[in-house]
Amino acid sequence: MERVMEFKMERPGLLKEGDNITVTEGVLPSNYYYTIDPALAMSGNYPFNQRMLAREGKVTKVEENSRGFYVTAVFEEQDNKSVF
């Protein structure tokens, strides 16, 4: 199953389309968040039931809008229901 996620990047030029990436999972009291290593961009918060299982993906889009720079990446992962 393919999963698409968006990450906020603080500066331009850190990532480009086609880059292979690795993410690290962080845990908050009621959410997970993901950081593209080494601290290049960060995801929003995801509830526990939307935890991402894949740790490697590929950048599909990098764009700038009025809020800053955003990276879209795709990850291949198994269906969450079959893992738990």
Buried b (16+ CB within 10 A) or exposed e, 45-76: ebeeeeebebeebebeebeeeeeebebebebe
Q: Model confidence over 38-68: pLDDT tens digits?
A: 999 999 999 999 999 999 999 999 999 999 9
pTM, two decimals, is 0.87
Question: Alpha-carbon dihedral of residues 8, 13, 14, 16, nearest 10 degrees?
Answer: 90
DSSP string, 4-16: EEEEEESSTTS--
Evaluate if residue 84 carries a pLDDT over 70: no
